[in-house]
Structure 1
Amino acid sequence: MHLPGQARHGARVLIVEDDFEIARMLSETLVENGMAVQIAESGAEMDVLLRNGKFDLIVLDVMLPGEDGLSICRRLRLETTIPILMLTALGEEIDRVVGLEIGADDYVTKPFSARELTARIRALLRRTAYPSQERARPKVLRFNGWQVDLIRRQLHDPSNARVATTTHEFDLLLAFCRNAGRVLSREQLLGVTHAGLAGPIERSIDVHVSRLRQKIEKDARDPVLLKTVRLGGYLFTATVEEA
């Protein structure tokens, strides 16, 4: 699908949407806000564009011809940490939770306003950009052999292998590292990570914590580093060092 006026420079957004009118509206709105946009009508077209270019964010519709958006999101999360905003007509909480569980960074249901979607895209882009004030802080945090690269926003395990994380997972881990030994409530974590953008569902934090445990704990069912505090929230028990 090709739409005019997509050559402007700025954040590079890939829209994966087979509805022409929705794609046109989104494209025009984002271009007006200084972003560069390309559109794919299916997962196959998306793959071609990803091979041939770099993008800062993907807006991904759930209902697509062929491979659906949830399957695409799950596949992308095995390969990349690019922020993914899911777009769907489904509005039940279970659908939002599924989207978060497979690695989506935000979830917007139709009908939606272009202004709201643009605001959410900008919020995701701000959190994935490396803030200038961060340069005065440590560049790497270490705990139990793990390394958190603040500049590249990457997580490396004790063998130095990179472990893929979503935007929210990385923000959540960063919040825990900077508050090690302190109980953080779900409300505090929602404020730090903006994980509630997908809807007013406190469970979104539990979903992200669960996914994070699967990556950093030896046994996610019996967590040692990231403990649940009954009626309190979560406690990160590791000793964190700055470098």
Structure 2
Amino acid sequence: MIIPDNSASSITASRILVIEDDQDIRQMLTRFLCLKGYCISVAVNKTELQKQLQSSRIDLILLDLMLPQDSGYELFQYIRQTVSTPVIMVTALTETKDRVTGLDLGADDYVSKPFDLTELEARIRAVLRRTEKPSFPSDALSEHVFGPWKFIPAKRALYGRSGIRVTLSSSETDLMLTFCHHPNVLLARNEIIELIYDAPNAVEERTIDLLVSRLRRKLADGGRQLELIRTIRGDGYIFDLKSINQ
């Protein structure tokens, strides 16, 4: 179902897919976000999710993890295997371990219920800004090749052996781009945060550790870690291209 936006900017408005089974919350989010100028689609299960992804462009997904028919985590895995659309998990699961699990799986943000609508919309803007901004305009025609990998910033795409595309979340893509622009340089966690989010203290340093861990796993060559991203204990990380390009 598409909820039309009647504002003057609706043609270019970002389209958000709300996956939420609670009717009251779903309607509240739809009304609020439409008033903020977004175009809203809704889904309550995997079948509806598939239809939405096939029928229209989706710029961001708000995903409830506690759904009656399908596991939110299973839906998230399906999304990540299908598209690179940024995902904000919105859930009643509030323990730290749940937040860590969500971020570790590749969510771009995690919001606990009950939430403040204004804060949620600010987080949506932040994720969309990170996804849409051309952080390094000079990269428009460039490619970064290292070992069996090729990263094309203009497409926000990472390719492995035989040209197979590796699915990255928007945050993982931003991290890959940051490393490509700072090869063989020690980057502290707070420096990485500022480079990716354009603001100090935008996220916890633990979030960067989780991002690095996820990206490392995806940069494994046939299951073998190439040590492209080296941890310098207590200091940060180095995207080490010297050994692989020797």
Give 1:91's aligned amino acid. T
Residue 144 of structure 1 and its aligned partner are, at CA, apart by 2.2
Contact 1:217-1:225 at 8 Å conserved across structures: no
Residue 98 of structure 1 and its aligned partner are, at CA, apart by 0.7
Stretch moving more, 187-196 or 47-56: 187-196
The 1-side partners of 2:2 and 2:101 are apart by 32
User: Does 2:100 correspond to 1:100?
Assistant: no
Q: Tell me which residue corresponds to 1:124.
A: 127
Contact 1:84-1:105 at 8 Å conserved across structures: yes
Contact 1:186-1:202 at 8 Å conserved across structures: yes
- Specify every segment of 5 or more residues in structure 1 that has no aligned partner in the other structure, as ranges: none
The aligned runs of 1:1-243 (5 Å cut-off) are: 5-6=4-5, 8-9=10-11, 10-131=13-134, 134=137, 138-194=141-197, 201-218=204-221, 222-238=225-241
Q: Percent identity?
A: 37
Residue 124 of structure 1 and its aligned partner are, at CA, apart by 1.3
Residue 191 of structure 1 and its aligned partner are, at CA, apart by 2.3
The 1-side partners of 2:125 and 2:142 are apart by 24
- Relative to structure 1, the CA distance from residue 159 to residue 130 in structure 2 (aligned partners, 3 Å threshold; closer, same or farther) is farther
Stretch moving more, 211-220 or 40-49: 211-220
TM-score normalised by length of structure 2: 0.86
SS class of match (1:72)? helix
- Relative to structure 1, the CA distance from residue 136 to residue 77 in structure 2 (aligned partners, 3 Å threshold; closer, same or farther) is closer
SS class of match (2:163)? coil
Contact 1:105-1:168 at 8 Å conserved across structures: yes
Give 1:15's aligned amino acid. V
Deviation readout 1:24-64 (Å, 9 max, x if unpaired): 22112221222110111222222222222221111101111
The 2-side partners of 1:225 and 1:185 are apart by 16
TM-score normalised by length of structure 1: 0.87
The 2-side partners of 1:205 and 1:90 are apart by 22
Deviation readout 1:122-170 (Å, 9 max, x if unpaired): 1111222153861576532222242211111111124222111011111
- Relative to structure 1, the CA distance from residue 113 to residue 151 in structure 2 (aligned partners, 3 Å threshold; closer, same or farther) is same
- Relative to structure 1, the CA distance from residue 123 to residue 200 in structure 2 (aligned partners, 3 Å threshold; closer, same or farther) is closer
Moved over 6 A (4+): none
Give 1:178's aligned amino acid. H
- Specify every segment of 5 or more residues in structure 2 that has no aligned partner in the other structure, as ranges: none
Deviation readout 1:48-94 (Å, 9 max, x if unpaired): 22222221111101111111211211221112111011001112111
Stretch moving more, 125-134 or 114-123: 125-134
The 2-side partners of 1:84 and 1:13 are apart by 10
Contact 1:61-1:69 at 8 Å conserved across structures: yes
Residue 196 of structure 1 and its aligned partner are, at CA, apart by 10
Give 2:214's aligned amino acid. R
